[in-house]
Structure 1
Amino acid sequence: MLDVLTGNMLALAGLDRSGMAELLVNMIGGFRADCDRAERRGARVPRDFRIHWDGDFFSLTYAEAWADVIRDSPDVRFWVYTRSFDPAALDVLPVFSGLPNLSVHLSVDPDNLEAVKQARRRHPWVRWAYLAETFADGRADLVALPGKRYPCPENGRRIPLISEKRSACIRCGVCPSGPGDVVFSIVKC
């Protein structure tokens, strides 16, 4: 799998924004074609696409290319987890502001909680994906903060990661639709 990730990174390296967007548009086109094939077989397939199952935004140009693709794909609902919200290093949040078909979840843990609080003050529309030792710890850490929290049902072993019906994220729907923050647990209880 590392070869695939490395190959994908190399394919994007050195491209300008439009070149990156072209590769991403092709990928989303393949996603749409897969959805269409499944629907022709009678399945109901939500057009929910997770950006990155491993990795993060590596440049502002790359984030801008994604924003172009998201903006031009109103039929697809995108979601992403990111640690790229540091104004002193790489902050992609301004690029994604105002995109109604994108849910952005900041990857949060006890070590970066203060930085994430600052990011949310700057961008109140973002959601959190909070990783704690246990779900109870996560709820306790976030109790004083506004908003609704959802424990990840796959992470808590209440639904399987993959089933005949669809993936856990699509079945749950919280991260793709973004109604609140999500809590993940290191301990699988």
Structure 2
Amino acid sequence: MSFRDLRRYESQKAAYDNYKAWQALSPDAKQAAFAAITDETKRAKPERILGYLSPFNQVGATLKYIRMPVLKKVQEGQGAGVGNSLGTALDAFYIDDTESVPVGGAIDHKRFKAARLSYTARASFSKKNSRITKRAYLKPDVDTYSAPFGQSVAGQTYEAALIIITPLADTWREGAVLPAKRSYKFTPEGA
């Protein structure tokens, strides 16, 4: 422990004591404390439906579609603009239940991890007190939507799909008006 740490002790002691009290709470009490500061009306709730996507690098007789929950292409409610933008960017990369079922049907594969794209929008900041340390901090209003995607044409690689999707995601990110911030994240297939 350094002298710097010792000097910080007095200013950090109250937060540390609150943290220790938090650790001693039961899981139900922690959940109640979380619910007390969470405004559910400001929480994005992506609408998902059963849909289909095709894993990357498949062609011809090996081409399969996997049935799984996908993002409904028209979202409503909190953060719907973020969800609709994501649905527009990924429109060609999955099939939802409003479109034709793929030829040959689909298989259920519970362990398959599809590639994903997440959009996050951070808007206005408001002062909140931490439920753990009781210290004030600036909390942004955050809406995050995430959706799986696969190949849009037979034999497409993940990298080829990124070449198509990344400019759309960049355009969406750059469309943020300050103080709002937007970001996106890709997760590769199988990760």
Q: The TM-score by the shorter chain falls in which range?
A: under 0.3
Structure (1 or 2) with the greater helix fraction: 1
Q: Under a length normalisation based on structure 1, what TM-score does the superposition of the two structures give?
A: 0.22
Structure with the greater alpha carbon radius of gyration: 2
| Larger strand proportion of the pair | 2
Q: Per chain length, whose mean CA-contact separation is higher, i.e. which structure has more relative contact order (CA < 8 Å, sep 6+)? A: 2
TM-score (norm 2): 0.22
